[in-house]
Structure 1
Amino acid sequence: MQKVVLMALVVLSAACQTKTNNAEQNEATTKVMAVEQLLANAETMVDTEITVQGHVTHTCKHSGKRCFIVGDNPELSIRVEAGGQIQGFNRELTGNTIAVKGVLKERRLSEEYIAQWEEKVKLKEAKEDGTAETCAAEMSNISNMRQWMEANNKNYYSIYYVNGVSYEVVD
């Protein structure tokens, strides 16, 4: 009889521990983060379900399948791709604050890819067809990517984005 009671206590204890671990895991994935907080920890959160809140600065006007959000620092933004329950992002969202639930993803641009991109930009610059301003911006981006790669001792540049599942407008 004592063995049965002891076994029941062990099983209940394990069940409670599992519920606690699941609750902690769910709390971590439902905690709303600012864009800055997400990007600061992005490398360790790839392929993790997250919730990020930010101010919509742009929605794709042609397809509505993506939007960009920023936090307090307007220089840090993250792209959100429509998916799950999100059919698209309408233009009226621009200027609103939203909380997006989704999975954080990473796209890595290799050194080779960046070098090829730079060559294309240089060819475009040589044409002198009025795209000089665009080319200067692209060359600046390429330079910034290379500086980041050197500073972080990486042979690639990471671009993080969210595969959105759902969102809500926050007052």
Structure 2
Amino acid sequence: MAGCGNNPNKKSAQAEAVVTLEVDNLLADAEQLTGKEVVVEGICTHICRHGGRKIFLMGSDDKHVIRVEAGEKIGAFKPECVNNIVRVTGTMAEDRIDEAYLADWEQKVKDQAAEKHGDGEAGCSAEQQARGETVASSTAKRIADFRARIAERKTKEGKEYLSFYHIQGESYEVLE
């Protein structure tokens, strides 16, 4: 058997080939890709100025946006990402917003303990855009909008939560 040419320790080139997804395709298949390694390319529209730990990649338009969080290997994204095509390798993750999440958020706001991100009370507009929100003027408005969207999803799909996806980035490169 040793002379048959089959080496069980050698992976085929086809098995090693990694498909690079565009943001639109990634978002369309997000639920099935959750927990899996993905490679995605998109135009970086924003880097969070709070340490450069998040970037946002846009697909065909501003309705197709995915957040990428810097993993330990990345540390922080470099400013040259913005307005360039960036390829990211990482793990697809799901974030769920449900009533318990919203009630906790409201309590934190009441306790003046809510994390501030962005320039105003409503938070970072890039984050809101990635979640398909209209840019709201206040946290209370955002919470009310989430509740309305959860109620709509419960009626249509029987699910009492909203799913949002992001990539936990392990590596990246600026392509243009």
TM-score w.r.t. structure 1 length? 0.71
Deviates more, 1:86-95 or 1:157-166: 86-95
Change (3 A) 1:109 1:88: same
Letter in 2 for 1:52: V
Letter in 1 for 2:68: V
1:121 and 1:139 in contact (8 A); partners too: no
Residue of structure 1 equivalent to 2:8: 15
Change (3 A) 1:147 1:121: farther
Over aligned residue pairs, what C-alpha RMSD do you find? Answer: 3.3
Residue of structure 1 equivalent to 2:155: 150
Residue of structure 1 equivalent to 2:45: 57
Q: Percent identity?
A: 34
> Are 1:133 and 2:137 matched, yes or no?
yes
TM-score w.r.t. structure 2 length? 0.70
Work out which of the two has the higher radius of gyration on C-alpha atoms and give 1 or 2: 1
- In structure 1, runs of 5+ residues without a counterpart are 1-6, 123-129
Partner of 2:77, secondary structure, is coil
User: What is the total number of aligned residue pairs between the two structures?
Assistant: 154
Change (3 A) 1:150 1:120: farther
2:23 and 2:40 in contact (8 A); partners too: yes
Residue of structure 1 equivalent to 2:130: none
What are the within-5 Å matches in structure 2 for residues 83-122 of structure 1?
Answer: 83-114=71-102, 117=105
- In structure 2, runs of 5+ residues without a counterpart are 111-120, 123-135
CA shift at 1:147, angstroms?
Answer: 2.4
1:65 and 1:89 in contact (8 A); partners too: yes
Q: Distance in 2 between matches of 1:141 and 1:100?
A: 29
Letter in 1 for 2:11: K
Partner of 2:137, secondary structure, is helix
Partner of 1:147, secondary structure, is helix
